[in-house]
């Protein structure tokens, strides 16, 4: 069959290198680059590299925020490397809250799978608040880099699936950035106008020093 | 309060124009551009522009594919314009199938909300098939531009939420591209090697002429 | 001269439209797009569209932060539209501070023109603090989207010139986002763990309600 | 010569590393990344890395499609790595056809060097067909990701030069994706509505199993 | 036919707006943006918008450079708007030369259709020259923004087809930039080290003043 | 403290790999890629990787151009890798000039720190000159890839800080590209229309051969 030979030949032209137009499953251990991780050899990639099963179980919400974020970012799900998206699961117990945070490198879109969630974001220069209580099946989008939060709005467990416009969106929770490291209280208070007592109280809760 | 004045002043510096760093809610009726639709004035934007409620209800699956795609692309959900992502809901009745298709401009990530779905994609040059049966909570990613499909894999209604790496991913269903327009049977048969009887049969089903 | 005719002819081929490969000076009043503002007709553009004189004078620092940010973003300097950069001037009186903030859409690079400045940023997931006192001529870079601050580190007026990797970097000052709008104290406290007294005190200073 | 020293000095500042602003000739054997292959050391690059001679000879068209695609993609022509383009040569014998296919990551522009070619593409959501018979010197553009084909439209050998908007455009021929691998006939038939006889016939021609 | 209804319905969902995922044929008269021109309504677009016939005829080479560049950039060929590529035809009479020039916004790839061409480019910081005489069928790539030239290398008419990695690559011919405008001889001589006599001689040829 | 555990846990999820959403400090010795250099392990990065002190001292202007460019590009300042910007310092003695040049991959924005500078750029197809004498505090932007120059416009030392829209903007000084390498005088004269005497004179000054 001549056509068969053509197909086989064509495939051979392209199959022998570690970069392909189609995908670039991450080698997490290798050296990354500004565009993401290095690619695994396509010949060693299987369907399981494109499937992630970690979002099927609820995150553990027995913590102070009564909530859990389970990421399927490139670090957990190497198949999304270079594909311009990633995912996560949010679990919020009745009093649960995903505290104020930003994703430095991505927009987010949220779908409520179960329960009710009050979500909001704040625009930058005008400081306008966009807040809404979402019910099952509702979708909300949070523009890249802006402060936003999600709070359980009903008496039952809430679940949401969120997607991002980047395989590696980052997650900067304001409280952790302020109170969970060794940033000196003096610099923190000067740059946030928070009172010393407030700073020390939250540093204690979150393990901050300085 | 001097600081109050500073805050107000700062907001004024940025609030008077129709483009802002934060978001660009689409004016669907205006002239689009390669980067998306023109922006509505931020002062006229409300939280409802960032919320979409159309994915909360099941699509109508009483059709020949026993399935429905409900898009929340920029055309339906103008708030995602310029944000690098969008969403859709898939409903598959017991015999439902989302036929072979591509998204010309986006990768896709799928989360199974209910039921079981057999999903797969085909790589380009090597024509390798990556197929898997996914259960509730499983996630699968489909690299941009590649042929893929989803088929109900259990006897019950299946639901999935999918996200895309572009507000306007496009959707090219191969059968519709081949058989639902006026592409002449002669050109179609020459360029696909499909038999004339097959072409005519599917043109009849899908409304194609020529 | 045949070559002259060639040159004139060639210029004519390209001079009659409102978009050019070279630049796209913003029409701030027109409809923006995700990629920036619409372009003014090149024939109406003069060198003054590429020159901005507003950074030559010190900003007014007689305010509660004893500091001023004078932006040369696309809204003030339409010539940078589409060129992937912008600039600003920072003035810090002896006790001056540019409070904790992010630029949702850009990285920043700072050059100390005069005085000493203690500057720092916080990484996202690891919450690591990178802080340094910079003297005249020192340069520091702040990666896109991350929380950062600048504080006068000497007894004299400090001046810095900062550049951004986007014509429209945005500026979200955390205090203004939290306390200078109508975000309800209840939601704010739940999502930040700040005490009610602290929230109300800063809302009063910054004009917040709710 | 002071200026000479300046020139030499300046060159030295930049010549000692494997990444340069100018170009990034691919190391095909190394680890790729989402943005392309790693760069060879500029000092080892010669003009021959930027020249490709493989398109000067006709491809072998004695096959079932009576046509040949000779690619100068990054895998064959490492000099285009990172430069946002690539090329290929099409040869079509009198009955030749480049079957329905997509390039998942690039637009294509075609120039007819010799003969006549009937070319067409199909838009996504509207399924509109754009088809035209092109003569020598005509140019046609095929938007990224959309199904398209080229067929010899005269009794003589046709030649075209095509360029792509990516060094690694990919090539997914629908027939090969459907019939030249181990995708089960059951899944294929369900997802394409093709008859079993048709599927088995073409699998036989193209070497498919399952 | 239920499937027919589904196809028709689906098309309707997407067909009513002036921006589409698939293409964005330029409205040259409207306001451009940094990402290109505004889109014409898809419903008014025909196949002729994707076909350009202007490269089928030789450019007029009876001028001082004995050469012609016939562009199929977005200004001449609106169909390439937003598609990341464009094309041009080069005609070089026996003594023809495309003088030293850059494309500020694109890489270039050249295919020799007829004759022989000596082509070269110069790297930036190291000032290395990459020069080669190309024969019919040879391909050479010129990285974005770098100075390059093409000179007829045989006694016969040469023709090349070149493609660019942008719909609007720009073209800055150094001689025209220096000598075909009103840049004062004083500034030009200071900034190029060219002699006054040389500057005045070429200004006369190219129509420069000042 | 459960919240403390949550914070620590979350950090652990992300801290163990060499690519991070936040930054990608360059490993200059490793293999680069089209998107920049490989990333150093975040755990080995300190604040000093984000600080550059080389722009605090004047460059040596005792050379034939009476000027100096001190770059803080990615090769000198690895912290800017992947962040979309870089910086440089210009020193111009009273007769100093930064000769006609382009940055192949970036736009530039200039802030006059001291003295007066006459700066200009030339548009591509129309060859329009945009020139202005800038005083202390003035800002001027130079669109990517276009020829531009800076000349001291007063009797005193001038200093400017310039930023670029890329970590690796490149720098192609036309005189060096023409006269500081082994490009044959014949090809150079044919492609620039410069006289042989002029070419040989400047080759001698700049060390060119051929």
In 10 A of CB C100, how many CB atoms?
27
Tell me the C-alpha distance between C178 and C193, whole Å.
Answer: 12
Sheet holding F129-134, edge to edge: F129-134, F117-122, F148-152, F97-102, F172-173
Could you tell me if residue D98 is inside a domain? yes
B91 against C15, higher pLDDT: B91
Asked if the model's pLDDT at residue E103 lies above 50, the reply is yes
D148 and D193 belong to one structural domain: no
Confidence band for A171, pLDDT divided at 50, 70 and 90:
very high
Q: Report the chain B residue with the minimal C-alpha distance to residue C64.
A: B3
Count helices and strands (H / E) in chain B: 4, 11
Torsion (CA) D42, D48, D52, D58 in degrees, nearest 10:
-160
How confident is the prediction for chain F on average, in pLDDT? 92
C-alpha distance from A200 to closest chain F C-alpha (Å): 14
Interchain contact F/B (3 or more Cβ pairs less than 8 Å): no
Tell me the C-alpha distance between C54 and F139, whole Å.
Answer: 8
Contact status of F169 with chain D (Cβ, < 8 Å): yes
Confidence band for B4, pLDDT divided at 50, 70 and 90:
low
Asked if the model's pLDDT at residue F125 lies above 80, the reply is no
Q: Which of A128, F40, F104, E42 is nearest to C182 (CA)?
A: A128
Q: What letter does residue F127 receive in the DSSP assignment?
A: -
Tell me the C-alpha distance between E120 and C137, whole Å.
Answer: 40
B73 and B142 belong to one structural domain: yes
The reported pLDDT for the residue numbered D1 is 42
Could you tell me if residue D4 is inside a domain? no
Asked if the model's pLDDT at residue D20 lies above 50, the reply is yes
For B111-136, how does the pLDDT look when each residue is reduced to its tens digit (9 = 90+)? 999 999 999 999 997 999 999 999 99
The reported pLDDT for the residue numbered A130 is 98
The reported pLDDT for the residue numbered D31 is 76
Q: How large a percentage of chain A has pLDDT more than 70?
A: 90
F4 contacts on A by Cβ (under 8 Å) = 180, 205-207
E71 and E157 belong to one structural domain: yes
* Overall average pLDDT of the A6-24 stretch: 58
Asked if the model's pLDDT at residue B210 lies above 50, the reply is yes
| pTM (predicted TM-score) | 0.95
Could you tell me if residue E45 is inside a domain? no
What is the Cα B6 distance to its own chain's centre?
44
Interior/surface letters C142-156, b for 16+ CB within 10 angstroms, e for the rest:
bbbbbbbbbbbbbee
* Integer angstrom CA distances of residue F90 from A82, E91, E193, F76: 38, 42, 19, 16
* Overall average pLDDT of the A149-157 stretch: 96
The reported pLDDT for the residue numbered E202 is 97
Q: How large a percentage of chain B has pLDDT more than 70?
A: 90
What is the total count of domains within chain E?
Answer: 2
When mean pLDDT is compared across B16-30, D61-75, E56-70, E103-117, the lowest value belongs to: B16-30
The reported pLDDT for the residue numbered F18 is 47
Asked if the model's pLDDT at residue D92 lies above 80, the reply is yes
Tell me the C-alpha distance between C13 and F163, whole Å.
Answer: 33
The SS3 call for residue E105 is coil
Could you tell me if residue E38 is inside a domain? no
In this complex, which of C32, C64, C176 lies closest to B24 when CB atoms are compared?
C32
User: Residue C197: CB partners within 8 Å, gap ≥ 6?
Assistant: none
Asked if the model's pLDDT at residue D12 lies above 60, the reply is no
Could you tell me if residue A76 is inside a domain? yes
For E17-56, how does the pLDDT look when each residue is reduced to its tens digit (9 = 90+)? 444 679 999 999 977 999 999 999 999 999 999 999 999 9
Q: Are E82 and E27 in contact (CB under 8 A)?
A: no
Could you tell me if residue A40 is inside a domain? no
The reported pLDDT for the residue numbered E19 is 47
What is the Cα F39 distance to its own chain's centre?
21
Helix axes D185-192, D196-206, angle to 10 degrees: 120
B148 and B191 belong to one structural domain: no
The SS3 call for residue B194 is coil
Tell me the C-alpha distance between A180 and A188, whole Å.
Answer: 12
Contact status of E23 with chain B (Cβ, < 8 Å): no
Domain containing residue F196: 174-204
Contact status of E209 with chain F (Cβ, < 8 Å): no
A193 and A137 belong to one structural domain: no
In 10 A of CB E139, how many CB atoms?
26
The reported pLDDT for the residue numbered A6 is 57
C142 and C182 belong to one structural domain: no
Determine the residue among F1, F2, F3, F45 to mutate to test chain A binding: the one whose Cβ has the most chain A Cβ atoms within 10 Å. Answer: F3
Inter-chain contacts counted by CB atoms under 8 A, chains B and C: 88
When mean pLDDT is compared across A155-164, B68-77, D187-196, F3-12, the lowest value belongs to: F3-12
D181 and D165 belong to one structural domain: no
Q: Verify whether the Cβ–Cβ distance A131 to C187 is below 8 Å.
A: yes
For D23-52, how does the pLDDT look when each residue is reduced to its tens digit (9 = 90+)? 999 999 977 999 999 999 999 999 999 999
In 10 A of CB F80, how many CB atoms?
33
Confidence band for D67, pLDDT divided at 50, 70 and 90:
very high
Confidence band for F4, pLDDT divided at 50, 70 and 90:
low
The reported pLDDT for the residue numbered E122 is 98
Could you tell me if residue F5 is inside a domain? no
Asked if the model's pLDDT at residue C20 lies above 80, the reply is no
D91 and D111 belong to one structural domain: yes
The reported pLDDT for the residue numbered F10 is 54
E14 against F91, higher pLDDT: F91
Residue with tokens 């004016």: B27
Report whether E186 belongs to an annotated binding site. no
Could you tell me if residue E37 is inside a domain? no
Please give the annotated binding residues of A for oxalate, written as ranges: 103, 108
Asked if the model's pLDDT at residue A167 lies above 90, the reply is yes
Q: How large a percentage of chain F has pLDDT more than 70?
A: 90
Q: Are C98 and C150 in contact (CB under 8 A)?
A: yes
Which alpha helices (DSSP H) does chain B contain, by range?
A: 2-14, 174-179, 185-192, 196-206
How confident is the prediction for chain C on average, in pLDDT? 92
D120 contacts on B by Cβ (under 8 Å) = 183, 187
For B168-183, how does the pLDDT look when each residue is reduced to its tens digit (9 = 90+)? 999 999 999 999 999 9
C190 and C162 belong to one structural domain: no
A123 and A181 belong to one structural domain: no
A34 contacts on F by Cβ (under 8 Å) = 24, 33, 35-37, 39, 81-82
Query: For position C111, which CATH number holds?
Result: 2.60.120.10
Asked if the model's pLDDT at residue D18 lies above 50, the reply is no
F71 and F96 belong to one structural domain: yes
C-alpha torsion sign, points E181, E186, E187, E192: positive
When mean pLDDT is compared across B114-128, D115-129, E110-124, F6-20, the lowest value belongs to: F6-20
The reported pLDDT for the residue numbered A200 is 98
Torsion (CA) F7, F12, F17, F22 in degrees, nearest 10:
0
E148 and E55 belong to one structural domain: yes
* Overall average pLDDT of the F82-99 stretch: 98
* Overall average pLDDT of the C62-91 stretch: 97
In this complex, which of E72, E137, E163 lies closest to D57 when CB atoms are compared?
E137
* Integer angstrom CA distances of residue D43 from A177, D1, D6, F34: 44, 25, 20, 17
Asked if the model's pLDDT at residue B64 lies above 60, the reply is yes
In this complex, which of F1, F20, F34 lies closest to A205 when CB atoms are compared?
F1
Could you report the predicted ipTM of this complex, rounded to two decimals? 0.93
């Amino acid at each position: 069959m001549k056509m068969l030979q053509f197909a086989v030949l064509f495939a051979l032209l392209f199959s022998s290198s570690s970069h392909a137009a189609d995908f670039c499953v991450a080698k997490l251990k290798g050296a990354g680059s500004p565009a993401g991780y290095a690619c695994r050899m396509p010949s060693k990639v299987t369907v399981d590299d494109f499937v992630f099963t970690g979002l099927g179980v609820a995150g553990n919400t027995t913590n102070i925020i009564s909530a859990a974020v389970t990421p399927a970012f490139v670090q957990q799900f190497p198949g999304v490397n270079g594909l311009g998206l990633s995912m996560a699961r949010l679990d919020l117990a009745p009093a649960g809250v995903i505290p104020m945070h930003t994703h430095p490198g991505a927009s987010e879109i949220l779908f409520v799978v179960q329960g009710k969630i009050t979500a909001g974001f704040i625009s930058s220069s005008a400081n306008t608040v966009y807040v809404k209580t979402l019910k099952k099946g509702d979708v909300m989008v949070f523009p890249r880099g802006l402060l936003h939060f999600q709070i359980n709005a009903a008496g039952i467990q809430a679940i949401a699936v969120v997607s991002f416009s980047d395989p590696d969106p980052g997650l900067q929770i304001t409280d952790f950035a302020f109170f969970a490291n060794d940033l000196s209280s003096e610099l923190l208070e000067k740059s946030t106008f928070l009172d010393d007592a407030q700073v020390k109280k939250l540093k204690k809760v979150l393990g901050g020093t300085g």
